[in-house]
Structure 1
Amino acid sequence: MIIDSLSGSKDNTVRVWDVDNNKQIQSFDGHSSSVHCVKFSSYHYHNHRQNVICSSSDKAIRFWDFKHNKRLQIFNGHTGAIYGIEFSQFNGGRYLCSGSYDKTIRLWDVETSKSLHVFNGHKRAICNNKNDNNNNKMNNIGVIGGNGYTICSGSWDKTIRIWDIETTKQFN
C-alpha cells in the first residue's frame, strides 16, 4: 500500500488516503475546530514510524499514529488558530515551526514535546490561506519554513521576516 495523500477539513477531521486505490484508510477526529495544515512527520519517519501531524483553529498541534489510530502528542501554546506547520530540514526533522493567527511563530522540539522559543514581530496573523473563487485554487499568502537554521514567515501585515533559530534574532 502506497499512502500518498492527507487531507484536513472544516469538519474537524484529518484523513489519510491510499491514492492508488482511491480509498480512505484512516480518519482522525480529535480537533474541535477546522484543520488547516496536515503533514507526515519527517521526524517520526526517520525513526521508522509513520505519523501524521496537523494544526487547527482549536490552537493545537496533534500527532497521530495512523497505523494504530492513536493520538501521540498534543502541542499547546498558541492563543490563535495555527495555519502553518513545517519540520526542520536538519536533525532529521526533530524541530517544528508553527505559525498562528496570534501573530507568533513557535519553535518546538518534537522529541521532548516542548516549545523552545516564541518569535514575535508580526503585527497581524501568520500564514493564512485565501480562497480565490475564480479558479477554485488555494493561494498561500504566507509561508513558514526552514532552510538550514532559519525560519521564514509571512503575514497579513504584508511583511516577510527571516529568523535565526540559533540566536532567535530576526535578520534585518
Structure 2
Amino acid sequence: MAHLALRRPLVGLAVFVVAVAAVAVIGSLSALSASSDYEQLRTPSWAPPSWLFGPVWTALYVMIALSGWLFWKRHGTGPELVLFGVQLVLNAAWTPLFFAAGRYGLALVDIIALLVVIIALIVAFARKHRVAALLLVPYLAWVGFATALNASIVSLN
C-alpha cells in the first residue's frame, strides 16, 4: 500500500476521507434527534450548547482524516493504522450508544476506551510523523472534555 501512496496519494486521501465520513454519517444517522435529546438531559453548568457539537466534530473529522492520510502516505500500513481503525470504530459506536440507545453508562465505557486509544495513537504516530500526531491533539482534548461531560451526564441522569 505504501507504493500506492507514492503513485496515487489522492486515492489514499479519498480512502481516509471516506472512512472518517462513514463515522460521521453513522453518528448523524443515529442522532437525528440529538439536539432535542441533549436539551432534555440534566447537564453540568459547563456543558456546551448543542449547536457547538456539529462544527467542532466537522473540524476534528477533517484533522483525523488528514492525520491518518499523512501517516499512511509516508509509512504505509502498519500497527499504527490498526490503532487508527480502532479509534474510528470506537468513535462510531459512541453516538448510537448515547443517543439512539440512551445507554449513557455504556457510552461512557466506550468513550474512555476511545480516549485511551487516541492517546496510544498519538504516541505511535509521534514516533514516526510528528505532524500526523499533532493533528490529533485537538481530538484528544475534545474527547477528554466529552468524557467528562458524559460522566457528568451519567451521574446527573
Shorter-chain TM-score category? under 0.3
- The structure that is helix-richer by fraction is 2
- The structure that is strand-richer by fraction is 1
Greater relative CO, 1 or 2 (CA 8 Å, sep 6+): 2
